[in-house]
Structure 1
Amino acid sequence: MRVREILEKINHIAFFGDLNLMVDNITYDSRKTDSKTIFSAIKGFKKDGHAFITNAFDKGCKVVLCESIPIKIEGMSYIVVQNSRSAMADISYELNLSGVDIDLVGVTGTNGKTSITYLLKSIYEFNGLSAGVIGTMGALIGDKKISLDNTTPEAPDLHNILKAMATDGIRHCFMEVSSHSTELHRVKNLKFSLGIFTNLTEDHLIFHETMENYYQAKKKFFYQCQKSIINIDDPYGKRLYHELKQDEKNVVSYSAVAKADYFIEKIEIDRTGARYNLKTGLKKYYVNLKATGEFNVYNYTAAIAAGAEAGLNVDYCIKALESIKGVEGRFEFVDSTLDCTVILDFAHTPDGLEKVMETINQFATGRKVALFGAQGERDIARRALMGEVAGKFCDFVMITSDNPVYEDPMNICLEITKGIEKYHDNYMIMLDREEAINYLIENYQHDDIILLAGKSTEPYQMIEDRKVPYNEKQIAINAIRKKEKKLEGKK
């Protein structure tokens, strides 16, 4: 596409350069530019892309998308816009997604997004439909898994992934839509057949500043959806449902408390799973899950509702979910012959941790032990709140590192202890996470439930600006095998 054609499709303030240049891609990374790739100078959280225009030119770049021109380079063309991120999304869509046919279903909320996207993938594949996933655990394109830096990638990355899915014959994509992505134009121009709202609790307030801003960022997404599926048991979900209704949007509800289009009743939960009745319209369905916890009842119901609203048979949606154990890294029982239970979960907010601990409470017969940390350069207030949850529910707490970034991990841990100490002082700080896991498993007591929270399938620890490879599940397995071998040697 010629630059002239691009300018006809986007709002811009000015242009300086050659209108006849040919381009076929756009990137925000100066290291990935070439003679046919536009470099978009975006203002990031720590660095400003305008400082890398020269680097892009050195890579052969001939066209820059920018908000100002810090330096004029001979041979470089400049598209000046009010917002580089927004214009980048527009240009990328034209270059990569215009005419691409793929059905999008988006899931947003503080907790439950990853689980629901993977549950939907299971439902669709059970029904013989091809499906891809984009979210916290990366992008799944067939058997290929791509690591991602963000839950919802920047627009050019997202568009290229969707294009690759369509090229591979994948016709449906289930995507986690973060609040950052709506504010930073990452999902701009995309149309979703369905949007799902799970819940909203305190998170990302360093970015959004207030819960109202956080809510509005989530709400914005649903105006890109043909139909919305809302958890009205969540206070913000109830508000969202009514506001969308007032705006005459197509919206359905799910609930275990109030009258809803998908009504959950007679929930039974134990260690082996969850069972409940699901009423929709004039029909009632019995759901028997291998995954346990009330939070899973809500997640699975959202997935069933989405399948049904997409036109799939409800019985087949339920059969699909009854056939799986659950989602990897989400309340996952780690295989062991020890007389304790080790559970892996992504819970990294006070609400997420509380829901997991409430589930454990329903079947624990021994001590409840939790290992977790709090991320650096994120909401400081929630550290003590997570400590309070752990202090309330746990007999012993191991506090450790979780992506400290540039913060002192010890200071983060001490913030957490303020919450625990409201209930007891039975905790330990061990900054080396692997060492902490080994300690808990080496020193477990009979019937302990050991929760490893916060990291789950995340494949790294973020230390300063380095992503240090990390595999929590493998570390737990290694520690369990070591303990099993040790106990076997004593027989």
Structure 2
Amino acid sequence: MNVRSGFRPAQVAPVSVTELAEHLDAEGYPAQRVGPEDAHVTGIAMDSRKVIDGDLYVGVSGAQHHGADYARVAAASGARAVLTDARGAARLAADGVGLPAIVVTDVRGALGAASSRIYRSDDAAQLYGVTGTNGKTTTTYFMRALLDKTQHTGLIGTIEIRAKERVVPSEFTTPEAPELHALLMSMQQDGISAVAMEVSSHSISYRRIAGLRYHVAGFTNLTQDHLDLHGSMQEYFETKAALFDPQRCDTAVITLNATDEPEHWGEKMARHAAEQGTETITLDLGPVAARACEGEADWTLTELTPHGLGHRFTLRHHDGTEVRSSVGLPGEFNVANAALAALMVLHGSPRQEWGPLLDALAVEPGPFDNAVPGRMEVVSKRPAGIVDFAHNADGLAQALKSVRGDGRTILVFGATGERDVSKRPIMGAVAARGADVIIVTDDDPHHEDPAPIRQQVRAGAIEVQQELTAIGERHIEVLEIAPRAEAIEAAVAMADADDVILVAGRGHETIQDVAGDPVPLDDRVELRRALSHHGWITTPPASTTTGPDDGILNKS
């Protein structure tokens, strides 16, 4: 099941091509109507294979092909018109495609505005969007759980798209603009009034969120990732910062001090949002912060105490208002995710309406006690077997810090192929500083040879291993085992009851991409199988969503 078949709106009022062209003109995308007589459209699609009767087909220029080359296929499936550029219009004419067309210079920019007009998503549910390097998925799950206490809430993110009882696995962290706008209209027709959504840097760069406006947008943190796309940390920051401009969101909730980077990205993000004129709420993480906060924040996390696998905590506003809650997932970084989720939901409502939300936050078990698939998911307790999505240096460091116990920490992880090469030895070094046994294996190699990827990761771990050995600080073991299932089996085989086995990097994913071939692989299944084989007791699975297209494109 894909997004369009799972969440296409039941009814869409037709929009004429002429009216759509006028709308794009008004939105700043000068549009020319060409071709035969006017037509009406009731949907929009970028993929000719997903076109259904009544759609506007979008022909975008690609690296190797132009989408207009497939307009005949789209027309045969029922497309009524085409949105494209001048090159695309020339190809339509050359191919004799007898459909009216709207010609614009910036097709990707106009795509969001066209989708918004066709699906009337301005009238859809309130959007709560979260961006940042790490923590987006958990924060959206937490938000949805809290929002559900007072209204029906949808979810759009890395793991799944969820609207009441309808659930489909995600293909991307953030779907393309036509799917997003269709989703929002479909959710609105289902009676959903709020949507918690992950917003990746890719979705901002590729303008998948064009035409959307967020009621509240939140920022978790910024650490090195996706430099293959952005080129530098400054460009990465600027991409994320675009979400907090006033034309994109009403209220920004910014975590100030999640990292100890010298650039202080949280403070920079808060300044950017405020200078742009966006209402800005700031969060000082207090006892779980990477460093002290510069100046006074609107809210400060205080009174952190262990509670089961998680923590109880208090949020205190500078006017004296206090919010009490708890989180059931391991790791102080999940306290930060819960705190951000709580403040985003609270600041999405007037203060006089906070009562039911405050009650829901204070009760135990509360909205932040439920497990998130593949996010610090506990598979066993003795030895502790944990699966997490940590796939960059900061996420890995945080995960290792959170699982440290009385026994050894045995880490199984790798690095993704065809992604930021520079982070591979850095991740190896992080692993060596936080684990006792490091088993370097394969993540998603994609079309890259997996052996050199493992060697680059292992080199970073070996360098730290040699440093630690030289000063006599502690002994660590660095192994290289592939394929991944064998690495997980080896980790369990060497574990004692007091040890922690952390399998990191893939989390909820169920398909491994090896040279373009989809290989079934679920870390949770493999870890549970190995533990049972060696006689250990496992916990029930947390995930409710798996599927054949789940996971191989989600590190974005």
Indicate the residue corresponding to 1:138 in structure 2.
160
Q: CA deviation at 1:167?
A: 1.3
Q: Of the candidates 100, 105, 109, which is equivalent to residue 123 of structure 2?
A: 100
1:65 matches 2:108: no
Between the aligned partners of 1:410 and 1:326, the Cα distance in structure 2 is 34
Q: Of the candidates 305, 309, 330, which is equivalent to residue 272 of structure 1?
A: 309
State the secondary structure of the residue aligned to 1:189: coil
Q: CA deviation at 1:462?
A: 2.0
Report the CA distance shift for 1:45/1:453 in structure 2 as closer, same or farther (over 3 A).
farther
Report the CA distance shift for 1:196/1:206 in structure 2 as closer, same or farther (over 3 A).
same
Q: Of the candidates 219, 226, 243, which is equivalent to residue 204 of structure 1?
A: 226
4+ aligned runs moved over 6 Å, structure 1 = none
Give the residue type in structure 2 aligned to 1:267.
Answer: L
Question: Are the counterparts in 2 of residues 397 and 428 from structure 1 also a CA contact under 8 Å?
Answer: yes
Question: Are the counterparts in 2 of residues 289 and 321 from structure 1 also a CA contact under 8 Å?
Answer: no
Between the aligned partners of 1:343 and 1:275, the Cα distance in structure 2 is 21
State the secondary structure of the residue aligned to 1:422: helix
Indicate the residue corresponding to 1:330 in structure 2.
375
Between the aligned partners of 2:445 and 2:409, the Cα distance in structure 1 is 25
Indicate the residue corresponding to 2:454 in structure 1.
413
Between the aligned partners of 1:438 and 1:375, the Cα distance in structure 2 is 21
Give the residue type in structure 2 aligned to 1:367.
Answer: R
Q: CA deviation at 1:415?
A: 1.0
Give the residue type in structure 2 aligned to 1:165.
Answer: M
Give the residue type in structure 2 aligned to 1:4.
Answer: T
**Residues 77-130 of structure 1, C-alpha deviations (whole Å, 9 max, x = no match):** 3322212222221211111134533111110100111111110111122x2311
Indicate the residue corresponding to 1:282 in structure 2.
320
Indicate the residue corresponding to 1:442 in structure 2.
493
Give the residue type in structure 1 aligned to 2:426.
Answer: L
Question: Are the counterparts in 2 of residues 97 and 163 from structure 1 also a CA contact under 8 Å?
Answer: yes
Report the CA distance shift for 1:408/1:102 in structure 2 as closer, same or farther (over 3 A).
same
Indicate the residue corresponding to 2:252 in structure 1.
228
Report the CA distance shift for 1:407/1:51 in structure 2 as closer, same or farther (over 3 A).
farther
Question: Are the counterparts in 2 of residues 304 and 317 from structure 1 also a CA contact under 8 Å?
Answer: no
State the secondary structure of the residue aligned to 2:463: coil
Q: CA deviation at 1:310?
A: 2.3
Between the aligned partners of 1:354 and 1:342, the Cα distance in structure 2 is 17
Q: CA deviation at 1:284?
A: 3.4
Indicate the residue corresponding to 2:343 in structure 1.
305
**Residues 360-392 of structure 1, C-alpha deviations (whole Å, 9 max, x = no match):** 23xx11111111111111100111111000011
1:149 matches 2:171: yes
Question: Are the counterparts in 1 of residues 308 and 328 from structure 2 also a CA contact under 8 Å?
Answer: no
1:352 matches 2:395: yes
Question: Are the counterparts in 2 of residues 34 and 59 from structure 1 also a CA contact under 8 Å?
Answer: yes
State the secondary structure of the residue aligned to 1:274: strand
Q: Of the candidates 38, 57, 77, which is equivalent to residue 100 of structure 2?
A: 77
Question: Are the counterparts in 1 of residues 243 and 249 from structure 2 also a CA contact under 8 Å?
Answer: yes
Report the CA distance shift for 1:98/1:318 in structure 2 as closer, same or farther (over 3 A).
closer
Report the CA distance shift for 1:341/1:99 in structure 2 as closer, same or farther (over 3 A).
closer
**Residues 130-162 of structure 1, C-alpha deviations (whole Å, 9 max, x = no match):** 111101012111122112221110001111111
Indicate the residue corresponding to 2:414 in structure 1.
373
Report the CA distance shift for 1:92/1:289 in structure 2 as closer, same or farther (over 3 A).
closer
Report the CA distance shift for 1:247/1:87 in structure 2 as closer, same or farther (over 3 A).
closer
Indicate the residue corresponding to 1:489 in structure 2.
none
Indicate the residue corresponding to 2:280 in structure 1.
251
Between the aligned partners of 1:16 and 1:300, the Cα distance in structure 2 is 52
Deviates most, 320-329 or 256-265: 320-329
State the secondary structure of the residue aligned to 2:41: coil
Aligned length: 481
Between the aligned partners of 1:408 and 1:204, the Cα distance in structure 2 is 20
Between the aligned partners of 1:388 and 1:270, the Cα distance in structure 2 is 31
Q: CA deviation at 1:429?
A: 2.1
**Residues 162-189 of structure 1, C-alpha deviations (whole Å, 9 max, x = no match):** 1121111111100111111122221112
Between the aligned partners of 1:208 and 1:320, the Cα distance in structure 2 is 42
State the secondary structure of the residue aligned to 2:83: strand
State the secondary structure of the residue aligned to 2:464: coil
Between the aligned partners of 1:248 and 1:387, the Cα distance in structure 2 is 41
Give the residue type in structure 1 aligned to 2:35.
Answer: G
Report the CA distance shift for 1:286/1:172 in structure 2 as closer, same or farther (over 3 A).
closer
State the secondary structure of the residue aligned to 2:21: helix
Between the aligned partners of 2:364 and 2:62, the Cα distance in structure 1 is 40
Between the aligned partners of 1:288 and 1:176, the Cα distance in structure 2 is 22
Q: CA deviation at 1:410?
A: 1.1
State the secondary structure of the residue aligned to 1:117: helix
Deviates most, 444-453 or 388-397: 444-453
Report the CA distance shift for 1:410/1:3 in structure 2 as closer, same or farther (over 3 A).
same
Question: Are the counterparts in 2 of residues 63 and 78 from structure 1 also a CA contact under 8 Å?
Answer: yes
Between the aligned partners of 1:359 and 1:400, the Cα distance in structure 2 is 22
Q: CA deviation at 1:333?
A: 1.2
Between the aligned partners of 2:364 and 2:142, the Cα distance in structure 1 is 7
Question: Are the counterparts in 1 of residues 115 and 211 from structure 2 also a CA contact under 8 Å?
Answer: no
Report the CA distance shift for 1:246/1:13 in structure 2 as closer, same or farther (over 3 A).
closer
Percentage of identical aligned residues: 29
Question: Are the counterparts in 1 of residues 109 and 207 from structure 2 also a CA contact under 8 Å?
Answer: yes
1:118 matches 2:132: no
Between the aligned partners of 1:455 and 1:59, the Cα distance in structure 2 is 37
Indicate the residue corresponding to 2:200 in structure 1.
178
State the secondary structure of the residue aligned to 2:439: strand
Question: Are the counterparts in 2 of residues 118 and 327 from structure 1 also a CA contact under 8 Å?
Answer: yes
Deviates most, 164-173 or 469-478: 469-478
Q: Of the candidates 517, 523, 526, which is equivalent to residue 475 of structure 1?
A: 526
Q: CA deviation at 1:51?
A: 3.8
Report the CA distance shift for 1:225/1:17 in structure 2 as closer, same or farther (over 3 A).
same
Deviates most, 457-466 or 18-27: 457-466
Indicate the residue corresponding to 1:315 in structure 2.
358
Deviates most, 242-251 or 156-165: 242-251
Give the residue type in structure 2 aligned to 1:123.
Answer: L
1:169 matches 2:188: no
Q: Of the candidates 23, 26, 32, which is equivalent to residue 9 of structure 1?
A: 23
Task: Give the number of the structure with larger relative contact order, counting CA–CA contacts within 8 Å between residues 6 or more apart.
Answer: 2
RMSD of the TM alignment (CA)?
2.2
Give the residue type in structure 2 aligned to 1:332.
Answer: E
1:293 matches 2:300: no
Q: Of the candidates 490, 510, 532, which is equivalent to residue 459 of structure 1?
A: 510
1:219 matches 2:230: no
1:386 matches 2:427: yes
Between the aligned partners of 2:387 and 2:233, the Cα distance in structure 1 is 29
Between the aligned partners of 2:180 and 2:521, the Cα distance in structure 1 is 25
1:41 matches 2:59: yes
